[in-house]
Every structure is written in structure tokens, then in C-alpha cells.
Structure 1
Amino acid sequence: MGYLATYATEQGFNVGVFDAEAHGLAVDATIERVNSLSPRWAGFNLLAPTYQISARIAAHLDPSIKIILGGHQAKAMPAEILTDPRMFRCEALVLGEGETRVPELLHDHRSRVELPGVMWLDPVTRNPVTGGLPGTQAHLSPDINSLPFIDRRFLAQDPHYDRGRWEANMVGARGCPYNCSFCGTAVSANPDITIRTRNPENILAEMHQLRDSGVTAFRFVDDLFLGARRVIDQMMAAFTTEDIGKWAVWDATGRINVLHRASDETLDTLANNGLREVALGIESGSERMLELIDKRINPQMTRTVVRRLTERGINVKGYFILGFPTETCAEIDSTVRLIHTLWDLTEPLPGQFRASVFEYRPYPGTPDWHRLMATGRYTAQQLLDYSAVDLTETGVDASMRARDEFNFSVNLPLANAPLDYIRTQLVALAHEQHARTASAA
């Protein structure tokens, strides 16, 4: 949303980003606030777990406000969303990256006929239709090196102060070449996206701009910064030339299979250039589960990569999922054992390992979603019935508050292991991680 707002502002439009969650506003207060501003347009970034909230807000906006939709859920289920009565004022549903298309729509929504990947509901037939003229496909993959740096006035909590530094999020690439079966960014779920990375010079220019405002910590939130050898080599050559490690620290997402093949020299270079923490999608300690979700790793690779990183003082955050479809209690136990092994392995090392564990939930458009629907045992409505899960007896638990992920579930027995067993293990791991973090502070 910040990139869309930045680009539209540069095209002369008066734009704002309203992050109701960051401001702690309830749904009714959000509706009241948007209506009081009387914008010509209201745009929504639709996500599966929060779609019902977005639809409720859209249904209660002033009739004079046009609606534009985008996001993962919009791409995964466009026809269902356009025919949702609560979205009846939607004039454009934008599939994929929208920087160059949104300003065209803001100028005149009838341009949707010419723009690729823009859908709406035909007023006569009441069927979804898609625009696009020959020669307009460039809109689907804007040149990310020519886009303006995001205007952080549109971001409610970025930069933010953490651990003695001002920290900002960065996006170094778009798209992911992998096909993890549970992930909304899986390549098979995003055939419209061309995978591309920003030039090192472009990234460094934004980092230096942020440094001028006091930022010295960065978090690269895209999938490719440490997920492709070519990108690592190019970026580290540029970071070394600019002496980034002398004034900055940074975190990034990595791929275990890529880092497993990295030389000692490459890992030393990452550490010397200020790499503070790597986030790794480990997901499971079961080889069957890892193969099923197309992760392209095994537990031994994970142990090796975590050890090599933490030996160099680079922290590792591991993401895990409990309750994959068909997963057994024994396979969940193997994940629990792997987490404990990684805790014990890194305890004497300069870098530390922390685990972030959450319950499996299906997302529309992913390989898992198609697999589950193909069984004939579930309806889309069942798989979309996300609800909050209280994992504590009293509802107040410091270890739960410290979790990065919001606890929600579709409450279906997708795994062979019972839901109670999954949640018992999840709570135990969260408590243990909280205790370890507190003792290290």
C-alpha cells in the first residue's frame, strides 16, 4: 500500500494510507473515520484471514466512495469477491503489482478496459470481466529500479526504534522462484509476477537516504535477498565496497538450500557486512512433510546451516508450522525435537536461535489449497473460516503476547494429529522460547 500511495502521489493525486490495526481502531471506528474523510476512492489490501473485516468496512462506506481492491485474496478469488454483495461498489480489482495501473484508474476508472489484470463486475450481465489491450503487459511488472523509494510518511510504524537503533523495512526484490505448497507467494500461485531484484546501487541509495534520517538497522522482508546465490554475491560485493558493516546492521530472509551451498568465505562476508539475523522457513523436522510441501531441504541441512551462521555471530529465527495436512503426532514430535536440538546446538555459540511456531492454515490459490479442495472433503467456505484461537487458559500470557504471529485457525482436522495435540505442543514451544529469550536479556 505504501508503494501504491507513493507512486500515486508522484502522479499528482492526494493519497493517504490508513492503517486501522496500527492505530488500534475497531471496525465501526474505521468506517466512521473513512466516511468522515470523504475520499473519492478507498483501496483495500485483501488478505484471507481478514477478508470478512474488509468486506464489512466496504459495505458500510458512503455510496459516493468508489472501491478499488487488491492483495493476495483478490488475486486468489477474484470472481467470488466481485460477486460478494458487500463489494458491490468495487470499480476495479487489480491483480498483482498495481503501481502504474492504480493512478490510471484514479484518473478515470473507465480506463480499466485498457489495463491488463484489472477486473470488475459487468453491470448488465453481473459477471466478472477483465480488461487489457495488446501492448499493455508492462503494467504487470513495473521496473522496480525506476520506482520511487517508498515515502515512509505513509507507514505508521516505520522506521521504528528497537534495540538502540532506528530500524526500517526494505524490499529488495519481487516474486519468489520456489513453490512451497502452503505459501501465498508460491510461484505457481503467482504466474503474473516476473521475478526480479533491485540493483545494488538502487538499494544502497535508499539505505543512505534513510541513514541521513538516523536509520542504521534494516530488515529486508522479501524472499530473495538471501535466497539466491547471484543476489547474495552482487549485494555483498556492493556492501563491502560501501563499508556497510561499519555503520549498519541488517536482517534478511534466507533459503536453507542456498545457504547450505554457500562457502565459508561467503558466510564470513555476510557477517562482516553487518548481517544480524537470518529468518529461515524451516517448517518441519519430518522429511516426509518437507517433501510434501516441496521445501527442498532436510533436517540435517537445517542443523548445518544454523550452526554455520550462529558460529559467526549471526542470529537465526526459524519459522515452523504444526498441523500440516496428513501430519501425524510422530511427525510433529520430530519438529519439536528439531527445535530443541537447534536451541541446544546454538546455546554456547555467539549467535542465537529462536523459534516462531504457529498452527497450519490453508490459503486460497496455494498448491495446498488446490490439493485440499480436490479431496472433495472441504468447501471453500470451510477452508476460509478463520477464527481467533485463545491458546491460554486465562487469556493473559506474556509468552503469547510476544509471539510474532496472530493465533488463528480454520478449526478443521486437516492433520492426522488432533488439534488439541497440535496446540499443546505450540503452547509448550512458545513458553520455552519466551523463557529462553527472557533469560538471555
Structure 2
Amino acid sequence: MPHLPLISGADATRTLDALFINAPLRDYGQRPRTNDYTLPVLGMAYIATYAQRAGFTVGVLDAEAHGLGIDETAKIVNEAAPRWAAMNLLAPTYEMSARIASQLDPAIALMVGGHHAKALPDRILADPRMVNLRALVLGEGELRVAALLEDEQRRRELPGVIWRDPILGTRATGIADPQTNARMLGPDINTLPYVNRAFLPQDPYQAAPTTTDRRIAASRGTDWLAAAALNGHQEANIVGSRGCPYNCTFCGAAWSANPDVKIRVRSPQNIIGELDQLHAEYGTTAFRFVDDLFLGVRDVIHEHMKAFAETGIGDRYVWDATGRINVLDRLSDNDLDTLVSNGLREVALGIESGSDRILKAMDKRIDAEMTDRVARRLLAHGIGVKGYFILGFPGETRVDLDATVQHIRTLWDIADHNPGDLRASVFEFRPYPGTPVWTTLTEAGHDPDALLAYGDVDLTQDGADESMRQRDEFNFSVGIQFGDVPLDQVRTTLAMLTREQHERNHGGPAAAA
């Protein structure tokens, strides 16, 4: 099979039933990528793994991980000649996906899914570059993709599958037995096979030791987990749940944008089984839970930590997770001690803003004082915090922006006086279709075409080139000023904060201050 080294998980002796394509975030044929790591496409790998277990020959072409250009990606797909090409559509990369699709051999059937497909299905069906599109899958795809690979005509009986009638030009939708809808649309995640990591070219991966790793290693002496921390862990990404009960207005996972998604949490035994499998196969000792909110429900946290303690997870592994500030605020100090003893290394928090007015507009259900309190307690327990922040949110004033800058610096100061470390990851606001704020903006008169005109932003004029290197893929904008602060000033602030965080990471001036 041509280009086999770039197609992950494929059997070279068999014809591909499906090739899953993760489009590049920009056309690297025009400008080579600068970062050397991107998050693995776990959702795509879940679908590929399920299809493989169902007996189909599949592979994953992660054009972002390999830094491929549009033309090269399309060439690889055409030479591999799968029966189906499958794409995960995201708003910032839709143009990349559509350009690849326009170059595919007409003999290759195309299926698509993802947040963008779910939010704007008719727009995608009408795109002339998607002429080969034979199935648009809304929501979680494991069971329905396998059914489509078995027989394309099964789309007529599958819920949440849409296509355009080639003769009439009208939208056609599968009609399923209502009793099968729930199972097809929201599979029991405890029965899904563990992700076959052969489909992920960069996961597991060797990570450099963090500040928290060094602290843990020093406290543990000479045991093998301490040695792993000092040398850098073999790390893997993992999903512990699906769905989110919150409605943050900017987020594609908001419940109002996903009324069909039932919140499901994997059992602790199921999760522990995957941790142990990854350790046995790859020597993995660190894990990163990347689902929307792994630490998002207090009762679930207690259940998982009880099982983690009973199986000695904290003696064997470290792990990072996403968390919800208002939930963590209700945990006791004993709860935080339990998290630490069970291996928690860092929590990623959607702090977003230092302005209570903006936090209310975002429907975050938190305030800056709560964030300060939660971060202080986590850091005091030696738990690292990765805080996400958004600049330029609709309606943001200079006072709001300054409050966010001050909030970040206050949190850095708290970290400087506690054993835990704080990393600030700052982004320019960008609207995603299907989210509550998208509806607000379009109802206010914003042109959807303008809201979808994503482009990458060059911050080198503000001296942020090196500091942006590891997050090159996230630096996107639609070029619209949504608040009161001019866009160039938003970007100058973004570059300043990112540069300061970079200096803190590397012991520069900010770290010494």
C-alpha cells in the first residue's frame, strides 16, 4: 500500500474499507508547521477501533500529526484507494477538509461527522466540494459507521445519518426503529473496545518531566515511578466520560448544542483496565484525561477515587484531568489529599476570564473569587493547575480585559508561594456554529460566512514566535472585533501573556520575578 508509513493501523495486505482522515489545521504545503506535537484524534481512533473489531480493514491518516499539505493528503488517500474516506469536520479546519474532499477520486465514497457537521449539515451537503458525500453522521459514530461499512444502503435505517439524494437534490435521512435509536446514538461506553493505539501516530509519547514530576520524584525517593518522572513519563491520552451537563455559551460541548447526547461515565474498573493495558503494552506511567469534565461530578469523583485507592493507582501512575471549578470548590481538604495520593498531577480548568460580568455572559456559574479560592487550595496541595482563558469575548471592555490580565498574574503569584505550578493558556475568542453564543451573534446580525472565515494569526511582531511554538495549532481567528477592545490590542495582550508563561516555563525573567 503506498505511503503505508503515514497511514496508521492499516493492514498492508488488504484493501482498505475505510481511511479516516484528520485534516491539517493549515496547508503545510504552503508553510511548514512549527510545533512538533498535536493532540491525538481519540474520537476518530475509537470509531476506527470499533470498525476493525467488526472485521473491517481501516486506517487513520493524521495529516496534522504528520504536517501534511492539502495536495499531499489527497494524493495519499487516492493512492490508498479505500472504499470510504471518513472525515471529522471542525469549524477551524473545515476549509482544509473540503479542499481535500474536492480532490478525491469519485470512486471513493465520503462520510463525515464531527461538531461542524452536526451544527451545519445542510450547508455541508450543499458544498460542491463535497460531491462524493454519501453519509453525514450526526453525533457518536462507532455503531453507525460500522453499519455503513457493511452496506451503504443501511443508511436508510440508521438514525442521525443524512445524505443528499443525487437525483432530486433533496435531503434524505435514515429512519430507524425508535427502540434502536438510543443504542445507536449513544453506545454504552463501557462495552466499547479500548482504543487501538496503532491508529494514533503520536500516542503514547515520551514527555519531558514537568515541575510537578520533579517534586513528586523528590518526595518518593528512588522508587521506579520516581525514576520515570525524572526521565520523563511515557504518556497517553484517555477519555473517561462523554457529554457535559453545563452550557458554557462558547463551547461546542454545551448541552443545548447536544440535546441528543446522554452523559455517560466509564466505570472505574473499565478505566483502570485501560490504564493497566497501556502500561503493559507501552510502559505508560502518566495519563491525561481529555474528556470534557473528568472531575466534574462529586459523587463520581468519590467512586473513582475509591477504586483507584483499592488498586494502588497512585503508587503506579500519575495523571492529569479536566475539572469543573464549582465542583472542586465543594471538595474537602481530605478529598484533595485523596486525589493527590491517587496520582493526580494537574487539573485543567476553564477559568476563561477575571471579570465576573464576562463570566456571567459565558454562563460559567463561577466568579473570579471562586477561581482564586480553588486554585489556591489545589496549588497548596501540590496539584498543578492549567488555566484556560479567552480574550476578546463579545461585549468585553478594556476593564474586563485588564481584570483577566490581573487575574492571571494573581494566580501566578499564588503558585509562586505554593508547591503546585500554574500554567496559563490564553486564546482569542472564536465562535463555533451550534453554540449558544453563535446563535446570539447571528441573531444580532453577524454574517455566518464571516463567522466561519477562520485564519491563522501571526503573533511574531509581538515577539511571541517561540512562546507560541508548542500551541501553533490553536492560534486561529475570524478577524472580527466582538468586544470594545480593538483586535490588535487583544492580540498584543495575548502575545504578552503567552510570552510571560513561556518564560516562566523556562526559568526566564517572569519566573525569576
- Is TM-score (shorter-chain normalized) higher than 0.5? yes
The structural deviation recorded for 1:122 is: 1.6
User: Can you list the C-alpha shifts for 1:179-229, whole angstroms capped at 9, x where unaligned?
Assistant: 000000000001111111001110011111111120010000012310111
Q: Which residue of 2 aligns with 1:265?
A: 334
Q: Which residue of 1 aligns with 2:253?
A: 185
Among 71, 76, 83, the residue aligned to 1:33: 76
CA distance in 2, matches of 1:425, 1:367: 26
Q: Which residue of 1 aligns with 2:144?
A: 101
CA distance in 2, matches of 1:69, 1:37: 18
Q: Which residue of 2 aligns with 1:146?
A: 191
CA distance in 2, matches of 1:429, 1:347: 17
Q: Which residue of 2 aligns with 1:312?
A: 381
Q: Which residue of 2 aligns with 1:132?
A: 175
Cα gap change, 1:394 to 1:348, in 2 (>3 Å)? closer
Given residue 127 of structure 1, which amino acid in structure 2 is its aligned partner?
T
The structural deviation recorded for 1:110 is: 1.1
Q: Which residue of 1 aligns with 2:265?
A: 197
CA distance in 2, matches of 1:245, 1:82: 49
- Number of residue pairs the alignment of both structures matches: 440
The structural deviation recorded for 1:125 is: 2.5
CA distance in 2, matches of 1:102, 1:400: 37
TM-score w.r.t. structure 2 length? 0.84
The structural deviation recorded for 1:394 is: 8.3
Given residue 447 of structure 2, which amino acid in structure 1 is its aligned partner?
T
The structural deviation recorded for 1:392 is: 1.3
CA distance in 2, matches of 1:23, 1:395: 27
CA distance in 1, matches of 2:396, 2:166: 46
Is 1:54–2:97 an aligned residue pair? yes
Mapped contact 1:218–1:251 kept (Cα < 8 A): yes
CA distance in 2, matches of 1:393, 1:297: 35
Q: Which residue of 1 aligns with 2:479?
A: 411
Q: Which residue of 1 aligns with 2:63?
A: 20
Mapped contact 1:175–1:223 kept (Cα < 8 A): yes
Is 1:351–2:420 an aligned residue pair? yes
Cα gap change, 1:335 to 1:385, in 2 (>3 Å)? same
User: Can you list the C-alpha shifts for 1:204-257, whole angstroms capped at 9, x where unaligned?
Assistant: 111111111200100000123101112111110000001111110000000000
Within-5 A mapping of 1:198-277: 198-213=266-281, 214-277=283-346
Partner secondary structure for residue 16 of structure 1 = strand
Runs of 4+, deviation exceeding 3 Å = 402-405
The structural deviation recorded for 1:405 is: 5.3
The structural deviation recorded for 1:398 is: 1.2
Q: Which residue of 2 aligns with 1:171?
A: 239
The structural deviation recorded for 1:420 is: 1.3
What stretches of structure 1 of length at least 5 have no aligned partner? none
Q: Which residue of 2 aligns with 1:436?
A: 504
The structural deviation recorded for 1:397 is: 2.1
What stretches of structure 2 of length at least 5 have no aligned partner? 1-43, 210-231
The structural deviation recorded for 1:129 is: 2.1
Among 457, 467, 479, the residue aligned to 1:389: 457
Mapped contact 2:203–2:235 kept (Cα < 8 A): yes
Is 1:86–2:129 an aligned residue pair? yes
Q: Which residue of 2 aligns with 1:425?
A: 493
Given residue 453 of structure 2, which amino acid in structure 1 is its aligned partner?
D
Mapped contact 1:329–1:421 kept (Cα < 8 A): no
Partner secondary structure for residue 461 of structure 2 = coil
Task: State, as a whole percentage, how many aligned pairs show the same letter.
Answer: 60
Q: RMSD over aligned Cα, in angstroms? A: 1.3
Partner secondary structure for residue 414 of structure 1 = coil
Partner secondary structure for residue 338 of structure 2 = helix
Partner secondary structure for residue 69 of structure 1 = strand
Partner secondary structure for residue 329 of structure 2 = helix
CA distance in 1, matches of 2:471, 2:150: 42
Given residue 168 of structure 2, which amino acid in structure 1 is its aligned partner?
T
CA distance in 2, matches of 1:131, 1:402: 42
CA distance in 1, matches of 2:152, 2:473: 37
